[in-house]
Amino acid sequence: ILSKPRHEDAAIYTALQPRLGCRCVGTSPQKLKPNSVRKIEVFPVCGTCRRMEIRITLKRGRVVCVDPNKEWVQQLLLDVQK
């Protein structure tokens, strides 16, 4: 059962969403602290979604989608690769 998300939760990835299209319905408006991140998943453009998507799983288990064009997201990806 899915409930209407609160504004701040609008970017939460819905685990029940099938892989028929994009995984994210929106992106988180707030910058995430690097020490709160458990996992980062990058999904390239594909036949069912015409945009690159980045999902971040937080240490508390919450999953959020972020804008891959934001400077802080790009920096986070660079830091993780080091």
* pLDDT tens per residue across span 19-49: 568 999 899 988 998 899 999 999 999 888 9
Answering whether pTM is above 0.75, one says: no
C-beta of residue 55 within 8 angstroms of C-beta of residue 35: no
Residue 17 falls within a domain, yes or no?
yes
- Domain CATH code at residue 30: 2.40.50.40
Q: Look at residue 6 in the predicted model and tell me its pLDDT.
A: 47
Domain that holds residue 15: 8-81
Residue 43 inside a domain? The answer is yes
Number of domains into which the chain is organized = 1
Residue 13: what pLDDT? Answer: 47
Per-residue pLDDT tens digits for 48-71: 899 999 999 999 999 999 999 999
**The one-letter amino acid at 20:** L
In a domain, 1, yes or no: no
Domain-located, residue 2: no
Phi, psi of 7 (to 5 degrees): -55, -45
Residue 12 has pLDDT above 60, yes or no: no
Flag whether 48 is in a domain. yes
Two tokens at 58?
A: 């937080």
Task: Note whether residue 44 is domain-resident.
Answer: yes
